[in-house]
Chain A
Amino acid sequence: MPDITLGQFVPKDSCIHRLDPRTKIVGMILYITAVLLVKSLLWALAVPAAFVILVTLLAKIPIGYLWKAIKPLRVVLLMMFVLQVLMVHGPEDTVWFEWWKIIITKESVINASFLSLRLVLLVTGTSLMTLTTSPLALTDGLERMMAPLKKVKFPAHELALMMSIALRMIPVLMEETERVRKAQLSRGADFESGNILKRAKAMIPILIPLFVSAFRRADELAMAMESRCYHGGEGRTKLHVLRYAWADLVAVIILLMPIAAAILFEYFFGVKV
């Protein structure tokens, strides 16, 4: 069964899990900025990489989950790397290797490494967020962060609830896809052979039952929510009230460090290697 890590929460009791979701959201934004800011020194990416590993360890999440997050991307990563190495050259590049039409330069290898590493870091870093934050806490955090927008009739609560339901339905729909696929296979459907167009067409018998059942599920869920007195965001209370703790302040400061480090690297040591 295909296993998508993004959007899957691993409940554990750790200091990372206990952080306020808002801290984690802000942290993620800072982290992404740091990863994208580093442009000239490849080794500087070791800072966010170390950060990811440290947080994973602190959160008591098996390192394997990080690999699971990258796994679906491995083909894309490889292709990106190879194409970047072979195709993108500047006029002043140091040539490392040249044979027939194949040219590999030092700069192209560095650029390609940058690109792939950045992608790996972005995917692992952001999946850490969903691995350590329950979808409800996550959407709760988003809802609270968007709360000021409610004044201009922005549907913050509805949006947050929609997101939380979408996240919660991911594993259910994945299982369903697998079930439909097997059911169609046992009826002689062929998903493996033929060109891309043919294979895409072969997906239709999977997608249609999936859509039909998704609508039915939505209908039943709506009924279940109604019978549990759901009537919009007004007057709702919460089981977990978000409260900023000292730990959150400390976390923000720690999170600020990699981004500060990245900026320092970039502007003080940012000479072309």
Chain B
Amino acid sequence: MILFENVTYEYPETTRPALREISLALDTAAFTAVVGHNGSGKSTFAKLVNGLLLPTSGTVTVNGLATAEEKNLLDIRRGVGMVFQNPDNQFVTTIVEEDVAFGPENLGVPTEEIRERVDEALATVGLSDYARHAAHKLSGGQKQRVAVAGMLAMRPQLMVLDEASAMLDPRGRQELLGTAHKLHAGGMGILMITQYMEETVDCDRLIALQNGEVAFDGKPGGFFRDGDFVRSIGLETPEAVYIRDALRRNGAAIAGKALTLEELAEEVCALRAQLRVNS
């Protein structure tokens, strides 16, 4: 459990706090998405979770350990792995497997076990064949999966994706999202910071930030029920929601529930079948 209590964070030399009086509890086993437009404080939020940033006021605790205590940081970061936006800026070494080993090496894991963990982590992200490759020659999506493997090798409880898909092409984004869902199915908690609404529709909980405050906290279905609200905080609805709402505005009798194109297609088909029966 991660607890935010009255957390305010202000970057040095700015007047407006990036986050204002945030209080919430995050379930470390859930798939949580944090969204918000640029400058809403979502990246700051992610960096507060594992103590990369310390709150200006208020407290953040991870499994009862306060991030403000320096001696807790190693234990916190062991449990909360983080993947960042730019894949090129998070590799410490040149070779894939050596980079994946960096985390466990820091933790002082015995050599044979590091080997095991590295192989296992690379297998999980589907890059076993690339273990001895040069990391900078991989594609963007592959690089981010290496970064995920590097974090997995530390065996954390929760994985934080800090806009990890922002610099990827659609295919790379798909690869990364698929990996995240696979890990979640395997029991790992995911905290995903993203600007792509399509990525959030399958998550357990969605938190929308605006100007450093929580604008919405609940199921993604609830968030996307009201497209005008989503747009009012500077975000776009997923394509399917946009089409769904347009259809409803024009009198189509479909429920305001579909979030993906597949769900929408099913509803439209059901509606058509019904119309056929009626006529």
Contacts and interface: CB of A to CB of B under 8 A. Distances in A.
A218 B180 CA distance: 27
Contacts of B98: 134, 136, 239-240
Contacts of B77: 226-229
Interface string B33-45: 0000000000000
Nearest to A224: B90
Contacts of B60: none
Interface in A193-241: 216-217, 220-221, 223-231, 235-241
A240 B97 CA distance: 10
A11 B106 CA distance: 24
B200 interface: no
Interface of B: 47, 50, 52, 74, 77-78, 80-82, 84, 86, 88-95, 97-98, 101-111, 114-115, 118, 132-134, 136, 150-151, 154
Nearest to A218: B89
A226 B103 CA distance: 10
14 contacts: A135-B94, A165-B92, A168-B94, A171-B136, A172-B88, A220-B89, A224-B82, A224-B89, A227-B52, A227-B80, A228-B154, A230-B106, A237-B108, A238-B101
B52 A223 contact: yes
Nearest to A135: B94
Contacts of A230: 92, 102, 106
Interface string A149-184: 000000000000000110110011000000000000
B142 to A, nearest CB: 15
Closest 9 CB pairs of A and B: A239-B101, A224-B90, A220-B89, A227-B82, A228-B103, A229-B106, A235-B108, A136-B93, A136-B98
A227 B81 contact: yes
Contact of A164 (B47, B93, B150): B93
B101 A168 contact: no
Contacts of B151: 228
A221 B102 CA distance: 13
B68 to A, nearest CB: 15
Nearest to A240: B98
A225 B89 CA distance: 10
A162 B167 CA distance: 27
Given A224-B84, A226-B77, A228-B154, A9 B93 contact: no
A229 B74 contact: yes
A125 to B, nearest CB: 21
A262 to B, nearest CB: 33
